[in-house]
Amino acid sequence: MSKTISIIIPTYNERDNIITLVKRIHGALSSYSYEIVFVDDNSSDGTAELASALSTEYPVRVIVRQNERGLASAVVHGLKHVEGQIVAVMDADLQHPPEVIPALLREIESGADIVVASRYVKEGACQDWGLIRRIMSKGGVFLAHLLLPSTRQINDPMSGFFMLNKQVVASVDLKPTGYKILLEILVVGQFRKVAEVPYTFGTRTSGESKLSARQQKDYLKHIYSLMKRKGELLRFAKFCLVGLSGVLVNTGLLWLLTEFAGFFYLLSAAIGIESSIISNFALNDFFTFHDRRSPGMKLFLGRLIKFNMVSLVGVAINMAILWLLTENLEVYYLLSNLCGIAAATLWNYFVNTWWTWK
């Protein structure tokens, strides 16, 4: 096993940054054996030529892709060509300070499989970010946490600055769309221990950011594709199916108890609602979330209580929307109710994935 640290740096028109970058990496890693692998997408500003020239003085290699574009796919390409067992990934524009690399390495040496340089842990930060960019970024993190449970243990799954043991990606098929290679790795990679190290995302002083609305759209596509690949879409479909079965239980009991047992219809309804919550819970526990339930009677009952509480709030949401739309917006009441059911289903699903079956 080679002790070399390989640093993959995707570049697209970064000529004015790479001399400083290479010098600072060298300063930070002078006591280590390392290599820098630039993956350049045929920049028109001479980035690749300058990087190649640097290789006479520093351990630098340059890979030029002629017909492809994309940050994440450039990193995947680089991963296939690195020599080291330990691999770091970072930007070329100095927004990722190379001086953080030794701290990442220490985490790997103490057993982490992936270490993320993070803006969203204590002492991490973003320099000069306006409110809008902050909100967009936090919103992106929230979406990832909401829709892809395996990213929840990392506060900054959108970071482009991280280190990993190559084993993590050795036998997985990485198919990222767009910018966020770490997201892909956190969802499909094979690892046990992850860690985060704070850093400050700096200001770009040379060259231009390639970030555009296109990347934001790609991010959503990427999340969708990961949900599909990891079975999270199927899970949601199962949850809806179970919900539908609950409607049958609910309506069936309302009818049976009122017609044949002579109960007052509101009492039958209350029994129907509670029974459907319990049957929904059992089906979800054994079917929808079978891979996420911990064994033991006590935990089972704990989940039942949580599910029950979430569902009762769900019923309140359903009623509130039914009332609001019907009374204030003059929507036909059956249509209002469908909107209420949709909102309550989303509420139930997400709160339960976050809390009941976390």
Q: What's the min distance (Å) between Cβ of 321 and ligand GDD?
A: 35
Q: Which of residues 85 and 215 has its CB atom nearest to Mn ion in the complex?
A: 215
H runs (alpha helix) in 203-262: 213-229, 232-259
Closest CA to 353 of 147, 95, 186: 147
Q: What's the min distance (Å) between Cβ of 179 and ligand GDD?
A: 5
Of ligand GDD, Mn ion, none, which one does residue 8 interact with (CB within 5 to 8 Å by kind)?
Answer: none
Who contacts 335 (Cβ-Cβ below 8 Å, separation ≥6)? 325
**Residue 213 CB coordination number (10 Å):** 7
Q: Which of residues 40 and 285 has its CB atom nearest to ligand GDD in the complex?
A: 40
Query: Residues 6, 11, 17, 95: which binds Mn ion (CB under 5 A)?
Result: 95
Alpha-carbon distance 246 to 341, whole Å? Answer: 12
Q: Quick check: 128 and 169 in contact, CB under 8 A?
A: no
Query: Residues 14, 93, 107, 232: which binds Mn ion (CB under 5 A)?
Result: 93
Q: Which spans of this chain sit near ligand GDD (rule: CB under 6 A)?
A: 10-12, 14, 39-41, 69-71, 74, 91-93, 95, 137, 158-160, 179, 209-211
Q: Per CB under 5 A, does 14 bind Mn ion?
A: no
User: Site map for Mn ion, 202-231, x if CB under 5 A?
Assistant: -------x----------------------
Of Mn ion, ligand GDD, none, which one does residue 195 interact with (CB within 5 to 8 Å by kind)?
Answer: none
Q: What's the min distance (Å) between Cβ of 249 and ligand GDD?
A: 46
Q: Which tokens is 216 given?
A: 């934001």
DSSP β-ladder status, 200-201 and 125-126: parallel
Q: What's the min distance (Å) between Cβ of 68 and Mn ion?
A: 20
Q: Which of residues 215 and 225 has its CB atom nearest to Mn ion in the complex?
A: 215
Q: Which of residues 175 and 306 has its CB atom nearest to ligand GDD in the complex?
A: 175
The DSSP symbol for 116 reads: E
Which one of the spans 44-52, 94-102, 119-127, 246-254 is the region binding Mn ion (CB under 5 A)? 94-102
Helix (H) or strand (E) segment spanning residue 147: helix 131-147
Closest CA to 186 of 161, 212, 210, 154: 154
Closest CA to 1 of 192, 185, 165, 115: 165
Q: Which of residues 69 and 228 has its CB atom nearest to ligand GDD in the complex?
A: 69
Q: What's the min distance (Å) between Cβ of 91 and Mn ion?
A: 5
Q: Is 184 helix (H, G, I), strand (E, B) or coil?
A: helix
Q: What's the min distance (Å) between Cβ of 168 and Mn ion?
A: 24
Alpha-carbon distance 105 to 109, whole Å? Answer: 6
Q: Which of residues 57 and 208 has its CB atom nearest to ligand GDD in the complex?
A: 208
Q: What's the min distance (Å) between Cβ of 65 and Mn ion?
A: 19
Q: What's the min distance (Å) between Cβ of 75 and ligand GDD?
A: 8
Of ligand GDD, Mn ion, none, which one does residue 12 interact with (CB within 5 to 8 Å by kind)?
Answer: ligand GDD
Closest CA to 148 of 198, 222, 76, 217: 222
Q: Is 100 helix (H, G, I), strand (E, B) or coil?
A: helix
Q: Per CB under 5 A, does 184 bind Mn ion?
A: no
Alpha-carbon distance 220 to 42, whole Å? Answer: 27
Q: Which tokens is 308 given?
A: 């029950």
How many CA atoms lie within 13 Å of 99's alpha carbon, on the beta-carbon side? Answer: 7
Q: Nearest residue by C-beta to ligand GDD?
A: 160
Q: Quick check: 59 and 34 in contact, CB under 8 A?
A: yes
Q: Quick check: 169 and 145 in contact, CB under 8 A?
A: no
Q: Which of residues 92 and 249 has its CB atom nearest to Mn ion in the complex?
A: 92
Q: Which of residues 14 and 113 has its CB atom nearest to Mn ion in the complex?
A: 14
Q: What's the min distance (Å) between Cβ of 44 and Mn ion?
A: 18
Q: Which of residues 215 and 275 has its CB atom nearest to ligand GDD in the complex?
A: 215
Contact residues for Mn ion (CB under 5 A)? 93, 95, 209
